[in-house]
Amino acid sequence: MKIALVTDAWHPQVNGVVRTLDTVIGLLRDRGHEILVISPDQHRSIPAPSYPEIRLAFTRARTIGRQIEQFGADAVHLATEGPLCVQARRWCRRNGLPFTTAYHTQFPEYLARRTRLPARVFWPYIRWFHGKSEAIMVSTESIRNQLRGERLTHVHHWSRGVDLENFSADAPSPPIYRQIERPIQLYVGRVAIEKNIEAFLDSDQPGSKVVVGDGPALAGLKARYPDVHFVGRKSGVELAGYYAGADVFIFPSRTDTFGLVIIEALACGTPVAAYPVTGPIDILTETSGAMDEDLNVAIQRALALHATDCIAHGETYSWAASASQFLGGLVSQPLRLDCHMSRRTLAKAIFARV
């Protein structure tokens, strides 16, 4: 199958959306599928206000449409709600072609944190963007229920996975862990306002706090919290070591739809403390994590959990299954016939779809 995937989130961004798309694309290519990625780096773009790492690309609908047509896409997937995907949506609608979308981020809540406007202000846009798609791919039951409550009922389950070759309890701990006080409390992810990291940094549990990641709020948080260990962006086995050597993983976000870092931490044997919100409530069990509106309580409870239970739960998430779920949610394009097409060419076109 030839799949055109349009996304406003792509390399060099480092976030859950990019990691999910990159991993699933790689697996689908290994299975013989052809993937065309249409991303901001291919078009004129500007830095997003207050978030320069994100590029907002601007182009015409027909420009994206030309890319999709020349590729000969069998299916079109719009991964984000940004300007590139808006133009791709416009082209698909004009030409009567089906497309699927995905709800990766609590977009209204995300914008509410950045604009200080109520989240309800942004829901009409979400309904407009996703309303005409053939299916909205979502990762958890909580998000499915939320979208159904917004009259977006055409949802398709698309979960996430973890690289078990990389993320395991055997990963070597970083040298810094031998120099700081335990229990070691870890955060991994974007260092940005919507991640609610201050709630973790303000908690009063004894021990040490470690933050792995980069982002627009990093400089300000470093200045405000001099006792916290900010170690920058990590990846691969080195990142796995930060998970595996920590005593508890803190997930303070209230706006994520899933949280890849949660299952990575679990696969490394580290229990998770979080708020009882979308993402954690869909992933964590009583033996792998603790949730409470008081983050201090959640941390205390999580520290009493056992690594073996966390590992067993983390290992239930498979990227292979995630790739299959994504493929199952796609909708094939209708066969577009040319009135001058020869019988032989028509037969080839039909059998190519079978």
169 located within any domain: no
Q: Mark whether 235 and 289 lie in a shared domain.
A: yes
CATH at 36? 3.40.50.2000
In a domain, 167, yes or no: no
Q: Within this chain, do residues 144 and 15 fall inside the same structural domain, yes or no? A: yes
Same-domain pairing of 297 and 324: no
Q: Is the pLDDT of residue 351 over 80?
A: no
Q: Quick one: 70 and 146 in the same domain?
A: yes
Q: By C-alpha distance, which of 162, 252, 238, 163 is closest to 205?
A: 252
Pair 325, 236 in one domain = no
Domain presence at residue 270: yes
Residue with token string 């979960």: 159
Q: Tokens in use for 53? A: 């790492």
Query: Under 8 Å CB-to-CB from 20, ≥6 apart: which residues?
Result: 104, 160, 260, 322
Predicted confidence (pLDDT) per residue in 110-151, tens digit: 888 878 899 999 999 999 999 999 999 999 999 999 999 999
In a domain, 223, yes or no: yes
- pLDDT tens track for 53-73: 777 888 999 999 999 999 999
- What pLDDT sits at residue 342? 42
State which residues form the domain around 345. Answer: 2-161+320-353
Strands 45-48 and 51-57: antiparallel
Q: Are residues 114 and 198 in the same domain?
A: no
In single-letter form, the type of residue at position 28 comes to L
Predicted TM-score of the model (pTM): 0.88
- Looking at the structure, tell me whether residues 143 and 256 fall in a common domain: no
Instruction: Give yes or no for a contact between 158 and 24, defined as CB atoms under 8 angstroms apart.
Output: no
Q: Which helix (H) or strand (E) holds 303?
A: none
Element (H, E) at 157: strand 155-157
Q: What DSSP line would sit under 15-29, residue for residue?
A: SHHHHHHHHHHHHHH
Would 232 be classed as within a structural domain? yes
In the predicted structure, residue 37 carries a pLDDT above the cut 90: yes
Model pLDDT for residues 195-221, shown as the tens digit of each residue: 999 999 999 999 999 999 999 999 999
- Give residue-wise pLDDT tens across range 245-282: 999 999 999 989 999 999 999 999 999 999 999 999 99
User: Could you tell me which residues come within 8 angstroms of residue 175 by beta carbon, excluding any fewer than 6 positions away?
Assistant: none
The closest of 249, 256, 310 to 274, measured between CA atoms, is 249
Query: How far apart are the C-alpha atoms of 233 and 292, rounded to whole Å?
Result: 28
pLDDT of residue 348: 43
Q: Is the peptide bond before 12 cis (omega within 30 degrees of 0)?
A: yes
101 shares its domain with 223:
no
Residue 317 tokens read as: 């998430």
The answer to whether 275 and 262 are in contact (CB under 8 A) is: no
Q: Which residues pair with 273 in a beta bridge?
A: 250, 290
Q: Where are the alpha helices (DSSP H) in the chain?
A: 16-30, 61-71, 83-94, 107-115, 123-131, 141-149, 197-201, 218-224, 236-245, 260-267, 280-283, 295-302, 307-314, 319-329, 343-353
Residue 170 domain-assigned (yes or no): no
Distance CA 108, CA 234 (A): 29
Whole-number Å distance between alpha carbons of 323 and 158: 8
Does pLDDT of 224 surpass 60? yes
d(CA 160, CA 259): 9
Residues 261 and 329 placed together within one structural domain of the fold: no
Number of separate domains in the chain: 2
What pLDDT was estimated at residue 140? 94
Rg (CA), the chain: 22
Quote the CA–CA distance of 224 and 96 in Å, as a whole number.
53
SS3 label, residue 138: strand
How many beta carbons lie within 10 A of that of residue 101, not counting itself?
A: 29
| Confidence class for position 50, pLDDT limits 50, 70, 90 | low
The verdict on residue 230 lying in a domain is: yes
Q: Are residues 182 and 211 in the same domain?
A: yes
The candidate with the shortest Cα–Cα distance to 252, out of 296, 195, 192, 190, is 195
* Same-domain status, 32 and 126: yes
In this structure, how many other beta carbons lie within 10 angstroms of the beta carbon of residue 48? 15
- Same domain for 240 and 341? no
pLDDT of residue 278: 94
Give the separation between CA 71 and CA 37, rounded to whole angstroms. 11
Q: Is residue 133 part of a domain?
A: yes
